[in-house]
Amino acid sequence: MKYAFSFLVVIALVVIAGVGSQIPGWAKSPVPFPIQTTCGQAKSLDFIARNRLEAPDTKAEVVARMLLEVLTFRSLFRNTKAQIHPGPKLTYESSKWLWLFALIKLMHLGGVFLSPTRNMPNNSRAVRYINPWNPDIKPHSYEGYEDEFREFMVEAGLPVEKELPAQKDEA
């Protein structure tokens, strides 16, 4: 029994150390565009009431949302099911035991923190996000384009501004 317990402890430490060493790399990976999963009203016009925890606009609101998610499993308690009982009586029940699933599958804990749908502010209307994977596009004028592809354009019968230079016969 002593050996089995020590073996399990070693395996658990290896898994924890392995996942812990991967987290900085996952955290540094670029996010192409922030797509937040929200179920509340985002910040828009001043006269429209917004939900600061469901659609966070600042980093402080994101931190508050993450803390509530991790400490109280907030999103799990939102799941309800409706049942009709004799009478007729409609009742709503919450799936409170879903928190146990999150504790059993601790590998998902890193996903809660690193998920770009949860850990980014919902401010894509106010802040411009540049896709980090897009290549730098150098401006290309039509004149430069025509210089580069003039022969192919003439072959295809497309009109060009400058004609092809006359070729000298090599004899």
Q: Does residue 135 sit within a domain?
A: no
Domain hosting residue 73, numbered range: 21-114
> 62-66, 112-116, 129-133, 139-143: lowest mean pLDDT where?
112-116
pLDDT score for 155:
92
Q: Does residue 28 sit within a domain?
A: yes
**Contact criterion met (CB below 8 Å) for 116 and 31:** yes
> 68-72, 86-90, 138-142: lowest mean pLDDT where?
68-72
Q: Does residue 168 sit within a domain?
A: no
Number of neighbouring beta carbons within 10 Å of residue 55: 21
> 3-17, 23-37, 64-78, 150-164: lowest mean pLDDT where?
23-37
Q: Does residue 145 sit within a domain?
A: no
Q: Does residue 137 sit within a domain?
A: no
More confident residue, 24 or 13: 13
Q: Does residue 35 sit within a domain?
A: yes
Q: Does residue 62 sit within a domain?
A: yes
3-state SS track over the chain: CHHHHHHHHHHHHHHHHHHHHHHHHHHHCCCCCCCCCCCCCCCCCCCCCCCCCCCCCCHHHHHHHHHHHHHHCCCHHHCEEEEEECCCEEEEEECCCHHHHHHHCCHHHHHHHHCCCCCCCCCCCCCCCCCCCCCCCCCCCHHHHHHHHHHHHHHHCCCCCCCCCCCCCCC
What is the total count of domains within the chain? 1
Q: Does residue 41 sit within a domain?
A: yes
* Percentage, residues of the chain above pLDDT 90: 7
Q: Give the burial class of 19: count Cβ atoms within 10 A of its Cβ; 0-12 exposed, 13-18 middle, 19 or more buried.
A: middle
Rounded to the nearest integer, the mean pLDDT of the chain is 79
Confidence tier at 32 by pLDDT (50, 70, 90): low
